């Protein structure tokens, strides 16, 4: 895993526009610190949406695995169709 960039909150206050521009051009998160301690993580909206879609897909996979264990669930073709639809969202 790549170590995220770190910026003190005072630097963020002094040049927020430049920091926002940097975030727009990157998929990487930015850790904001205050007195040497991490207080927040900010990221571009594109990176946020992508991570939310990935999280949603992982949740669906976990539910599917649980259903398989219980002997329940859906056909492979319906699962693949739903997964393709979720992945298509990520490409938009």
pLDDT for position 92 = 62
State the pTM of this model: 0.63
Q: Is the dihedral of CA 63, 65, 70, 72 positive or negative?
A: positive
Give residue 2's pLDDT band: very low, low, confident or very high (50, 70, 90): confident
19-44: per-residue pLDDT in tens?
999 888 888 999 999 999 999 999 99
55-79: per-residue pLDDT in tens?
998 998 888 888 878 877 777 788 7
């Amino acid at each position: 895993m790549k170590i995220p960039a770190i910026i003190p909150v005072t630097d963020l206050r002094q040049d927020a526009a430049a920091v926002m521009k940097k975030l727009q051009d990157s998929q990487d998160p930015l850790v904001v610190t205050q007195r040497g301690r991490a207080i927040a993580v900010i990221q571009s909206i594109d990176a946020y949406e992508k991570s939310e879609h990935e999280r949603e897909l992982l949740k669906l996979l976990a539910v599917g695995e649980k259903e398989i264990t219980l002997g329940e669930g859906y056909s492979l073709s319906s699962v693949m169709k739903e997964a393709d639809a979720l992945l298509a969202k990520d490409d938009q």
